[in-house]
Amino acid sequence: MKTIDLAESSIRELNQALHDQATECTEREWAVLNPRGQHNIACGLDQNLAVDIQGHAGYFCAGMNKKAHVVVHGNVGQGVAENMMSGTVRVKGDASQAAGATAHGGLLVIEGNAGARCGISMKGVDIVVKGSIGHMSCFMGQSGSLVVCGDAGDALGDSMYEVHIYVKGKVKSLGADCTEKEMRPEHIDELTELLNRAGVDEDPRSFKRYGSARELYNFKVDNADAY
């Protein structure tokens, strides 16, 4: 295992060392010490690495992640795993707003709570939150799944497309065009698999499913000739 202490090395040096593994992987396991809330830790990785961040991280931690498995032993600031393509990002504490924003793939697990706009414009990522999420989560979410074991804030799934949302607790309010949907056997199967991948022990039958009612303007084929 290689250890990089951010009390001594810069973020640039850390990220460059991790990026260098993309062409030739010489070290799979990495530990990052003293993150002290700095931004952009472990961004843009493109290799099957295991990166352990020992403490709280700042904004955009593990952004644009590809293939790597990043664990944060603490809280993260805004935009954790934003635009992730593949791999996994696990946050042991809480996440601030816009967790998993625009992410295309991979798995984001938040063991604490996530703030506002969790999964905003998500495009294929799977997000599992053990705690609760804030307002405007999954706004314009296009694809992937969002699992919430606690409660969801206001305007969940506003103007969303095809994300599968599963919430165990209370939803404060649904956003425009978001609606509760029937839990069919294939959804129980999907949720079971998601909870297993995230290592979360919950009964899939205790969740409700939400999705797009497909009633907004952009879903109406009659509007196609406007372009």
Partner 1 sequence: MCGIVGLYLKNPELESRIGELFKPMLIAMTERGPDSAGFAIYGDEVGDDWIKLTLRHPETDYDWEALATRLKTELLLELNWFQNASVAVFKVRGEEAALREWLAEEAPDVLILSVGQSIEILKEVGLPEKIADTFNLDGMQGSHIIGHTRMATESAVTMEGSHPFSTGMDLCLVHNGSLSNHNRLRENLKREGINFETENDSEVAAGYLTWRLKQGDSLKDALEHALEDLDGFFTFTIGTRDGFAVMRDPIACKPAVLAETDDYVAMASEYQALTTLPGIENARVWEPEPATFYVWERSSH
Which positions touch partner 1 (CB under 8 A)?
Answer: 36-38, 55-56, 58-59, 75, 77-78, 93-94, 96-97, 115-116, 134-135
CB nearer partner 1, residue 77 or residue 211: 77
Residue 224 exposed, middle or buried by CB count within 10 Å (0-12, 13-18, 19+): exposed
CB nearer partner 1, residue 65 or residue 97: 97
User: Shortest distance, CB of residue 174 to partner 1, whole angstroms?
Assistant: 17
User: Shortest distance, CB of residue 210 to partner 1, whole angstroms?
Assistant: 21
CB nearer partner 1, residue 32 or residue 195: 32
CB nearer partner 1, residue 35 or residue 124: 35
User: Shortest distance, CB of residue 166 to partner 1, whole angstroms?
Assistant: 23
Instruction: Give residue 144's identity as a one-letter amino acid code.
Output: G
User: What is the spatial distance between Cα 26 and Cα 110, in angstroms, rounded to a whole number?
Assistant: 29
User: Shortest distance, CB of residue 123 to partner 1, whole angstroms?
Assistant: 22
CB nearer partner 1, residue 72 or residue 195: 72
CA 223 to chain CA centroid, Å, is 33
User: Shortest distance, CB of residue 115 to partner 1, whole angstroms?
Assistant: 5
User: What is the spatial distance between Cα 86 and Cα 103, in angstroms, rounded to a whole number?
Assistant: 9
